[in-house]
Amino acid sequence: MYMLLRERDLHNDNYYKCLCGTHVRTGAFIVAIIGVVFGLIQLLSASTPCLNSGIVKYNILCGLLTIFVNSLVICADQKEKPWAYLPYIIFKGLVILFYAFVVIVLLIIGIFAPSDAPTIFSGKTPEEQIMAVRIVFISGAIVLLIFNAFLLWFASIVFRAYQYMREAVNQGILGNQQEIDDRIFS
């Protein structure tokens, strides 16, 4: 259980540990590398010829934004600039809220599937088709909810790295990351 404090002990605090006991700065760096890889995958998926132009534009925009904000997290860690974590935190907060909205919409559609649901499942009775549509929408909501939980976890790691960096800059104790890790985990 974490307590909300204005200032924490930067040298001995479990709040600044994550990902199997690593420091949040290292964790945020790992999260940013994973984010850059996913941004590149999203950009590559935009080149798929079967997608319509709206989805391609969405993939390109989100891929570039993802690479940009994750690159700022890497920069924040390397240059010891707390402000560079903020675009990631804001962007991921908006993405998490958007996906939460989509989960709610998918659940509503899945629960209250219209009787004139699309007939994409051939050879089925109308009742079976409605049930299949419900299963697809509810399954999609569950998968998106799990994905959103990972996004929230990643955002919490970056937020704690931001808090650490802000406090460390205020206290003037920043330096070599290995020296900081040695002081914290010794």
Alpha-carbon gap, residue 50 to 33, rounded angstroms? 29
- Radius of gyration over alpha carbons of the chain, in Å? 21
Per-residue pLDDT averaged across 153-164, rounded? 92
Sequence ranges of the domains in the chain: 16-173
Closest CA to 118 of 141, 100, 134, 94: 134
Higher pLDDT pick, 38 / 5: 38
pLDDT value at residue 178: 53
Alpha-carbon gap, residue 109 to 161, rounded angstroms? 38
pTM recorded for the entire structure: 0.78
**Would you tell me how many other CB atoms lie within 10 Å of the CB of residue 81?**
13
C-alpha distance across the termini of the chain, in Å: 22
pLDDT value at residue 1: 45
Q: Residue 18 phi/psi, 5° resolution?
A: -160, 175
**Tens digits of residue pLDDT in 77-109:** 888 888 999 999 999 999 999 999 999 999 998
Closest CA to 25 of 180, 133, 152: 180
pLDDT value at residue 95: 93
